[in-house]
A and B are shown apart, each in its own frame.
Chain A
C-alpha cells in the first residue's frame, strides 16, 4: 500500500515535471543558498469514523427517549437528553448533515444516478422514521437539535384555535414538496438554506439566517415549537409514520380519571379529548359529507397538478442555469455589464447561448413534470386532511395524538395517577 502510493506520487511528479516547463512563465529558480522549499499544508477534516459515532449517538438518544417516555415515564430524563443533543448535535456537530436535510440527499440520490449517497446519511434519514414506526416521534422529542432548542425556550404557550392549527399544518407538506422538487431537479437544498437554527449553533452565519432563527425562538416563547409544528418537512413525514406506531407514550399509567391536567401541560395541543366532552356529529350527515370529500380528492389532485405545472416557469427560475439563460435572452444588453459575474463568467467560458438555453429547457421540463407531481401531492394532502376532520374517532379518555405528540413527556409529570 505504502509502496504503491510512493510509486504513484513519483509517477505524478514525473508527469508534472514533463508538463511544467511549458506552463511556467517564470521557472523555479535554482537556489545557491541552502533554501528548503516548504510544502503546502492540507489540514484534515473531521475523521470519517466520527460520522458513524453520530449515528450511534442518534440511536442511543432515540432509544433512551423511547425508554424514558414509554417505560420510565420521566420528563427529567428526556430533559437531560434534550440538553445532550443540543450540545452534541448542535454545538459540537454543528448540524450538518441532519435527518431533516437528509431528505434532500436521498431524493437527489434517487433522481440523479451520479450522486453518491454516503451510507451514514441514508441511516440518518431512515433511523428516525423506523423509530417513529416503533415508538412515536422520539426523534422530535429529544434527538433533534432544532426541536430541542425550541423545546427549552417554551415560556408561556398560548392555545391556538384548532382551525388555525390545522390550516397552518399544511405548510410542512408544502415545504416538503418544494424541497423534494428542488432537490430532484438539482436546484438547491432549501431545507438547509432556510434552516433557522444552524446559524445559532455555529455562532455565525448569514445575517438573514440568524435573524430568522431569533424570530423563531422569540415566537417559540409563546407559540410552542413553531418550526416543528408549522414548517418542519421531516416532521410532516414523522407525523404520518408515527400514527402507525407500535408502542406510544400513554398519558396515564393505569387508568384515566379525566382530570384534564395533561391538556394544560401539553404546550402543543397534542392531546385528544374523550367522547364525554365532545359532540358527536350526526352519522348520516357526516357519512354523506365523507363520501363527497372522498370524491373530491381526485379533483383536488388534478387541480393541484394543473396549478403546479402552470407555475413551473416561475419555480424553475430558482435554478441558476434557467435564471441565467432567461436573463441573457430577455436582457441581451447585460452582456456588456462587466459587474455581472455570472454573465461574464458564462461569456468567458465560450459556451454558446443556444447550449445554455437547451440546458435550461431540459431543467424547465423537469420542473413541469415535477410541478404536476407536487400539485397532485398537495391536493392529496389537503384532501386527506379534510377527510380526517370528518372522521369521528371514538376515544374513551384523554390520549396523546400519535401524529402530533413529540413524546416530550410533559403530560406524564402532570398525571396524578401514579
Chain B
C-alpha cells in the first residue's frame, strides 16, 4: 500500500465513522420518528387572521383555505363573516359581501337560518371572513392548510412570517385541527 492509497482509505473510514456516529447520535439521543411524516398545520386558536396566508404561500393561490366547522355555526342570517360591517341590505349582492373572491356562499335552510359554504377553488385564504366570524360570531370559520394543495415545503414560508406563530410542524396523524371538530387530539411539536 502506498502513501496515497493509505490516505485515501483512512480518510474514507474516518468519514464513514463520522457519519455513523452522527446517525447514532441522532438516532439514540434524540427523537427520530421512524414512520414519521410531518406536515404544516394552523392552530385556529392562535391564528389572528393577519392575511399573510394569502400572500406568503409559495403557491400562486395559497394552500391555506377557509374551512367551515358546521357544528360550531349558528346559521345566522346576519353573518359577520359573510356581510361587510355596516351593511344595510342583507342581500347576496357583491357590494355587501366580505369575501373578496366570492368564495363564501350561503344557502337558505329554513327561516331564519342559512348554511354557509366555501368554494375552495375560489378561496385565497385571506381570512377576512374568519376575522368577521371570530369577532362577531361563533368562530366557526377558520383557516386551515389543505394538504392536497400544500407542497409541504421543508420550511413553510407562511410559518416563517406568521406573527402569532400559529403554524407548526405536526405528525401527519394530527394534520387538521379544526375547532369544534377535534378529530385528532392536538399533538404539538416545537419548531
Residues of A within 8 A of B (CB): 8-9, 12, 16, 20, 23-29, 31-33, 35, 37-46, 48, 51, 94-97, 101-102, 104-106, 109-110, 112-119, 122, 126, 129-130, 133, 186, 188-189, 192-193, 199, 202, 204-206, 209, 241, 243-246, 320, 341-342, 344-346, 348-349
Q: Provide the bound-state CA to CA distance between A117 and B137, in Å.
A: 40
Selected from A113, A126, A246, the residue in CB contact (under 8 A) with B31 is A113
* Interface residue tally for chain B (C-beta within 8 Å): 75
Q: Does B152 contact A (CB under 8 A)?
A: yes
Residue pair A42, B154 in contact (C-beta under 8 Å):
no
Q: Which residue of A lies closest to B48 (CB)?
A: A345
Asked if B33 and A119 sit within 8 Å, CB to CB, the answer is yes
Given that A37-B71, A96-B154, A126-B19 are known contacts, is A20 also in contact with B76, CB under 8 Å in the complex? no
Give residues of chain B (56-88) contacting chain A, Cβ–Cβ below 8 Å: 58-60, 67-76
Q: Can you name 7 A-B residue pairings with CB atoms under 8 Å?
A: A33-B109, A44-B148, A45-B172, A115-B189, A133-B15, A320-B161, A349-B164
B89 near A: Cβ within 8 Å?
no
For A8, A9, A45, A341, the residue with the greatest tally of chain B CB atoms inside 10 Å of its CB is: A45
> Which residues of chain A have C-beta atoms less than 8 A from B176's C-beta?
42
A-contact bits for B37-58, CB 8 A (1 contact / 0 none): 1110000000010111000001
B178 near A42 with CB under 8 A, answer: yes
CA distance A113 to B28 in the complex (A): 11
Q: Which residues of A contact B148 (CB under 8 A)?
A: 43-45
Q: Report B142 CB to chain A, min CB distance, Å.
A: 9
CA–CA, A189 to B191, complex, Å? Answer: 12
Select B26's contact among A39, A43, A106, beta carbons within 8 Å.
Answer: A106
Q: Are A28 and B163 in contact (CB under 8 A)?
A: no
User: Would A25 and B74 count as touching, CB distance under 8 A?
Assistant: yes
Q: Does B92 sit at the interface, judged by CB under 8 A?
A: no
- Chain B CB count within 10 A is highest, among A8, A112, A113, A341, for A341
Contact A206-B138, Cβ < 8 Å, known A24-B72, A29-B74, A244-B15 = no
Pairwise interchain contact A130-B19, C-beta atoms closer than 8 A: yes
Q: Please name all residues of chain B whose beta carbon is closer than 8 Å to the beta carbon of A320 when the two chains form the complex.
A: 160-161
- Among all A-B residue pairs, the 4 with the closest Cβ atoms: A26-B74, A45-B147, A345-B163, A114-B190
A-B contact count (CB 8 A): 190
Evaluate contact between A24 and B138: CB separation under 8 angstroms.
yes
Among B34, B58, B115, B154, which residue has its beta carbon within 8 angstroms of that of A97? B154
Cβ A192 vs Cβ B154 within 8 A: yes
The distance in angstroms between the C-alpha atoms of A110 and B191, with both chains bound, is: 13
B90 vs chain A, min Cβ distance (A)? 15
A26:B137 contact, CB within 8 angstroms: yes
Q: By the criterion CB–CB under 8 Å, are B19 and A40 in contact?
A: no
Q: How far is the CA of A48 from the CA of B152 in the complex (A)?
A: 12
Contact B37 A48 (CB under 8 A): yes
Query: Would you call A193 and B157 a contact (CB within 8 A)?
Result: yes
Give every chain B residue within 8 A of A205 (Cβ-Cβ): 58
Contact B164 A20, beta carbon cutoff 8 Å: no
Contact in complex: A122, B69 (CB < 8 Å): no
Q: How far is the CB of B46 from chain A (nearest CB, A)?
A: 9
User: Quick one: given A114-B190, A345-B50, are A119 and B32 in contact (CB under 8 Å)?
Assistant: yes
Q: Are B147 and A43 in contact (CB under 8 A)?
A: yes
Q: Contact check, B155 vs A246: say whether CB atoms are below 8 A apart.
A: no
Q: Are B152 and A96 in contact (CB under 8 A)?
A: yes
A25/B113 contact (C-beta < 8 A), A12-B185, A119-B32 known = no
Q: Are B152 and A25 in contact (CB under 8 A)?
A: no
Q: How far is the CB of A191 from chain B (nearest CB, A)?
A: 8
A118-B38, A204-B58 known; A188-B32 Cβ under 8 A: no
A109-B30 in contact (CB<8A): yes
Task: Determine whether the beta carbon of B154 is less than 8 Å from that of A28.
Answer: no
A373 to B38: give the CA distance in the assembly, Å. Answer: 31
Most buried by A among B60, B150, B151: B151
Q: In whole angstroms, how far apart are the Cα atoms of A27 and B137 in the complex?
A: 10
CB neighbours of A209 from chain B (8 A): 58
B22 within 8 A of A: yes
Answer whether A246 and B12 are a contact pair too, CB < 8 Å, given A28-B73, A119-B34. yes
